[in-house]
Amino acid sequence: MGSQISIETSNDAAAVASAIFNGPGVSITDATFETSYYEQNGLGGYLGSAGIFSSGPFGIGSGGILTTGYSRDADEDTYNQNVDTQIDGSEYCGPDTTNAAVLSVELVVEPEYNGLSIEFILATRENFVNPDPIGIYLDGVQYAVDTSQNRITAKS
């Protein structure tokens, strides 16, 4: 992704949700991290699995970032692909997952709009033995599936 992208690590679920769902006609009513990692790194900065980005790639100028590693590393050419945040998986990600970053959002689509469009990039720096999945649920139904109804992963 290069050095152009700017990432701010955040543990503010409402701020990350607002960065993701930022179009006209959408109002965030509640946002929480179901699972996420966040700590001060002792050097005046923060390590965390969520954040907000600007100057993003592929025509997505800004938004939120959720990762199994550290959000700040998404723009690095040198990285540690084996970051273990010690965070368990979740019911949304599957029983064998680890290092999950799960953001739960309640939102309202204003009456004059007929839906919600989401753009996302799913990438990984890990091997493809256990590719990272993405989940987009509405009322318990998984919508992040391909045309054959298989869950979307970094290997899809």
Q: Tell me whether residue 139 is in a domain.
A: no
Distance in angstroms (rounded) separating the CA atoms of residues 109 and 118 = 13
**Structure tokens that stand for 67 in this block:** 């990762």
pLDDT (tens digit per residue) in 22-70: 889 999 999 988 766 666 666 666 677 889 999 888 888 899 988 877 7
Distance in angstroms (rounded) separating the CA atoms of residues 55 and 3 = 10
Question: In the chain, at which residue ranges do the beta strands (DSSP E only) sit?
Answer: 6-9, 26-35, 38-40, 46-48, 50-54, 62-66, 88-90, 94-98, 102-109, 137-138, 141-142
Q: Tell me whether residue 144 is in a domain.
A: no
- Say what the pLDDT of residue 101 is: 80
Asked if 25 contacts 113 with a C-beta cutoff of 8 angstroms, the reply is: yes
Q: Tell me whether residue 69 is in a domain.
A: yes
pTM equals: 0.80
Strands 102-109, 137-138: pairing kind: unpaired
Q: Tell me whether residue 142 is in a domain.
A: no
- Say what the pLDDT of residue 129 is: 73
- Say what the pLDDT of residue 121 is: 78
Average pLDDT over residues 88-101: 70
- Say what the pLDDT of residue 81 is: 60
Split into its structural domains, the chain has a count of 1
CA angle 105, 109, 111 (to 5 degrees): 160
Q: Tell me whether residue 37 is in a domain.
A: yes
The boundaries of the domain holding residue 36 are: 6-130
Distance in angstroms (rounded) separating the CA atoms of residues 113 and 94 = 33
Q: Tell me whether residue 87 is in a domain.
A: yes
